Structure 1
Amino acid sequence: MFPEERGPGRGERLSALAQQHGALLTLVVAVVVASLCFDTFLTGDNLEGMALSSSFLAVVALGMTFVIVTGGIDLSVGSLFALGGVLAAWGSRYGTAVALLLPLAVCGLIGLVNGLLIARARLAPFIVTLASMLGARGLLLAVTDEGANTYLVDKSTWFTHLGQSKLLGVGVPVWITVALFLLGGVALRRSRFGQYVYAVGGNEDAAALMGVPVARTKSYVYTLSGLCAGLAGALNAAWLASGVTILGNGMELDAISAVVIGGTLLSGGAGFLSGSLVGVLLLKVIQNIINQIGSLDSSYQQVVSGAFLAVVVIAQTWLARRRRRMR
């Protein structure tokens, strides 16, 4: 007789649930508290504003989730977001197709270069993407003549409607974000590519022995991250009807924070897109609560976000160790 195989115990299941859905519980509590404390929190205009501002960060966080699940990091997304917005505004004078395709092509190419250097040359993701962050910001300054030129988007074009129009009372960028997360969730959880992403993040050497195309998978995820950042920048330019050069500073840290708060492990091998979306919403709710208070400076948002991230990382580490002891 073979020994009976035991499934995960109750404590291990509770630890897994806390790690995966703790951010969602925190978000619900924050929304309930804010709605009780501030009469304007649950108004349509406030909720619509939060959803719209969240959509751009969420698209960036989508690509970042794939990168972090593989055990990597991408510090270039903030600069690519700003570069994508400027390129979209510049290209809008030649039509909507150019306004969308130009930032996708340039930012996707930079993401591909990141992936090739990390996967093929085996360089550290932190160093490669840091260099890309500086390079993309330099390219942005070159395109805008050291920031002196701000390209405006004609408000009568279809490209502007893409950022400013509403569908069923909700901004089009929000619907685009929801569609991208649905597609990304299917790709990450249900496709062979998603299995490769988890395998590379779980144990790269073991994945290679199993026949997983490790280098190709890494190249794909960094290309995807660049594409998402460029698309988010283009949508933001369509919303603002201009390519603002000062945007994107620190956005990479916000995206990483949202992904980690949502339950994705920085060490790789575990994570899900719905958690990243919850992380983005939680950060935006915190920001909105600080704005509702009014007497607090906006810098408090960074303090709270940093404290939140530290608590989440500590909690993830403790839960992961607890689950290993229970096995």
Structure 2
Amino acid sequence: MTTDTGEAVMPAESTAAARPSAAVTDGEPPGAGRQERLSALAQQHGALVTLVIAMVAASLSFDTFLTGDNLENMALSSAFLAVVALGMTFVIVTGGIDLSVGSLFALGGVLAAWGSQYGTAVALLLPLVVCGLVGLVNGLLIARSGLAPFIVTLAAMLGARGVLLTLTDEGSRTYLVDKGSFFAKLGQGSLFDIGVPVWITLALFVLGAVVLRRTRFGQYVYAVGGNEDAAALMGAPVARTKIAVYTLSGLCAGLAGALNAAWLLSGVTILGSGMELEAISAVVIGGSLLTGGFGFISGTLVGVALLKVIQNVINQIGSLDSAYQQVVSGAFLAAVVVAQTWLGRRQRVL
């Protein structure tokens, strides 16, 4: 079972090994439990508070910020990154990292655009199968061979980009999607004036939240990230859990690429560069710990939204170069990691 903050609850004999105890003892100062709860709330909901403040400030500064068109564009552009970040959340909660998702996103888009000439089923299944297979190989190498996730997924990132360039003749060939096809409607269609990719993303996040917080697999994900040795002692399938989360990450990246191809009506080879860093930033800004064992799906969605609001504000200013988006995002990520470290130490002290 899991707590309201999204942490896995493990048996008493393994809890101490997996995470420092938060129980209040006789030796603790008065109010320690309350301070600990406030620290936990700040860690969990800090990004949401920051998002609200940023949106209020932007709406007061720019008349066009809260217009329907601008909000719709932000939501639609956020959908593809959000799907990638969804898979990344599971990986990071286990204490891992996946650097291949940006290349898999681009590869999935090209495969979907090429496959669209054979129907919607091929356009969707082909990137899911290929990118999911890459994720599966990543998981097998990490879980069964004991290789570092950074090295394995870095190799997958380079390999997927190489396959992408081979399929497109070094980027000189672009596969197009028929505008009148059903597959194109998945990217360009709308429901209640909201783009179909946004609805798909929201549905996936609801499903992801249920899986992470209400299923046995979700318990295993938290347990592996909290303390791998303790998780093994309590009977959690550590290797299978790692394989599953990396496979899921590959599937999410492939699906996001396919939806993006349906939106752009083409498979663009230059997309996805740096997307893995954006996805990691969104997950961490949303409150998940890079060390694993703590995180929640809703926080990732807030993290994606916050990144997009920052980018939109910089675009609204107009006089700032787009490079400032990366500078601001990087500075914000550094601030969040520092805050997480401070809050974690504070909770251990309390």
TM-score scaled to structure 2, two decimals? 0.91
Partner of 1:11: 35
SS in 1 for 2:145: coil
Structure 2's unaligned 5+ residue stretches are 1-22, 26-31
SS in 2 for 1:9: helix
Partner of 2:307: 283
Residues 264-303 of structure 1: matches in 2 within 5 Å? 264-303=288-327
Distance 1:309 1:42 in 2: 25
Partner of 1:127: 151
SS in 2 for 1:156: coil
SS in 2 for 1:175: helix
Distance 1:68 1:198 in 2: 10
The AA in structure 2 aligned to 1:31 is M
Residues 138-217 of structure 1: matches in 2 within 5 Å? 138-217=162-241
The AA in structure 1 aligned to 2:91 is V
SS in 2 for 1:120: helix
How far the C-alpha of 1:60 sits from its partner, in A, is 0.2
Distance 1:270 1:13 in 2: 15
Distance 1:162 1:76 in 2: 25
The AA in structure 2 aligned to 1:95 is G
Partner of 1:76: 100
1:113 to 137, 141, 158: 137
1:235 to 256, 259, 263: 259
Percent of paired sites with the same residue = 82
Instruction: Indicate yes or no: 2:156 matched with 1:102.
Output: no
Distance 1:6 1:19 in 2: 20
Partner of 1:60: 84
Distance 2:319 2:249 in 1: 37
SS in 2 for 1:118: helix
Distance 1:35 1:267 in 2: 36
Partner of 2:248: 224
1:260-310: CA deviation from partner (whole Å, max 9, x where unpaired) = 000000000000000000000000000000000000000000000000000
The AA in structure 2 aligned to 1:218 is K
How far the C-alpha of 1:224 sits from its partner, in A, is 0.1
Distance 2:249 2:203 in 1: 16
Partner of 2:6: none
1:48 to 47, 63, 72: 72
2:114 to 82, 86, 90: 90
Structure 1's unaligned 5+ residue stretches are none
Distance 1:122 1:147 in 2: 35
1:142-179: CA deviation from partner (whole Å, max 9, x where unpaired) = 11011110000000100000100000110000000000
1:6-60: CA deviation from partner (whole Å, max 9, x where unpaired) = 4971100110001010000000000000000000000000000000000000000
The AA in structure 1 aligned to 2:108 is G
Distance 1:69 1:25 in 2: 22
The AA in structure 2 aligned to 1:113 is V
Distance 2:333 2:84 in 1: 18
Distance 1:138 1:211 in 2: 40
Distance 1:191 1:48 in 2: 33
SS in 1 for 2:262: helix
**RMSD after superposition:** 0.8
Distance 2:316 2:158 in 1: 35
The AA in structure 1 aligned to 2:90 is F
The AA in structure 2 aligned to 1:69 is V
Instruction: Indicate yes or no: 2:72 matched with 1:35.
Output: no
Distance 1:166 1:206 in 2: 47
How far the C-alpha of 1:206 sits from its partner, in A, is 0.5
Instruction: Indicate yes or no: 2:341 matched with 1:317.
Output: yes
SS in 1 for 2:86: helix
TM-score scaled to structure 1, two decimals? 0.98
